[in-house]
Amino acid sequence: MRTFAKSRIRYSKQQRMGIFALLGLIVSMEVIGYLVALDQIPDEKIEIPPEILQVYSAAPTHKSTETKILSPFNPNALTEQEWMELGFSQKQVSTILKYKNSLGGNFNSKEQIKNCFVISEKKFVELEPYIQLAPVANSFASSKVNTTYTKFDSKTEKKQIRYTPFNPNEYKVEDWVRIGFSEKQAVSILKYKKSLGGEFKTLEEIQASYVISDEKFREMKPFIVLLKPQVVASPNKKNIEKASTPQKQMSKFNPNELTEEEWKTLGFSEKQVRTIMNYKRSLGGKFESAEILQKCYVISEEKFRELEPFLVFD
């Protein structure tokens, strides 16, 4: 028989095994009892003082990354800040506004907005459903004037106008007023005509006038008669010289390298040349292609066809 620990009490092997089993049983019972008692403890709701809740509710949360919710807007009436709120940088906004000025101060179609090179195709697709162009674009920056023009148009369009065939190059202020335009609009049309060299040569030039809406143009179009000047056969020396003056012989040229004087030699007026140069600056100082040059509203379709064979781009 072996001794258990250092005691003189002697236990047999079976007694030792029984003692260990008894101890294990006692420990197991204690653990089970503790677990059962733990499950029976009812859940108590901890009440948080209202002062602490108020502090937590007033605490600033993380910054919201929500994007600006778009709503219908008129791109001709947006300020620099409002363009930036649409997601453009300050430099992009500056380019957009310069481009708009090169078009006469207003966007007349969504296509013109899409053609602005700082507006990506993805950004245009995002904005397009919300773009609302006013029926008549304005030549003034003030939104009050814009509203006045819009109200004027809505009233005058209700009034039926009896048109007769007319030559817009012969119309004065009172003539334009008679067919539904305000006096300010009539003055703007005459100034625009003057910037084209003093006359409308094509229907496209008339349609491009920023105070003539697409609806108004469609209404007028069937009655517009553009007469080409004819040289009357007479012994008048000036008429003979005018009829016999040879056309200027042109050679290949790069429009990006032309000076203002050289543009004038191509048949453009001083105001037209200034508009072309401003348009070039809005594009970053360079015409990238003939298609971009063609979009300058003071270059008529007929004039562009005349110049196109001689255009050279780097």
pLDDT tops 90 at residue 68:
no
pLDDT tops 50 at residue 232:
no
CB atoms within 10 A of CB 108: 21
DSSP letter at 230? -
pLDDT tops 50 at residue 222:
yes
Sorted by sequence, the CB contacts under 8 Å of residue 302 that are 6+ apart come out as: 201, 202
Q: What is the dihedral of CA 169, 174, 175, 181, to 10 degrees?
A: 100
pTM: 0.29
What digits encode the pLDDT tens for the residues 142-200?
333 343 333 334 344 456 788 888 999 999 999 999 999 999 999 999 999 988 888 99
Residue 16: band (very low, low, confident or very high) from pLDDT cuts 50, 70, 90: confident
For residues 53 and 225, the model is more confident at 225
Residue pair 98/281 in contact (Cβ under 8 Å)? The answer is: yes
What digits encode the pLDDT tens for the residues 117-154?
889 989 999 898 889 886 543 333 333 334 333 333 43
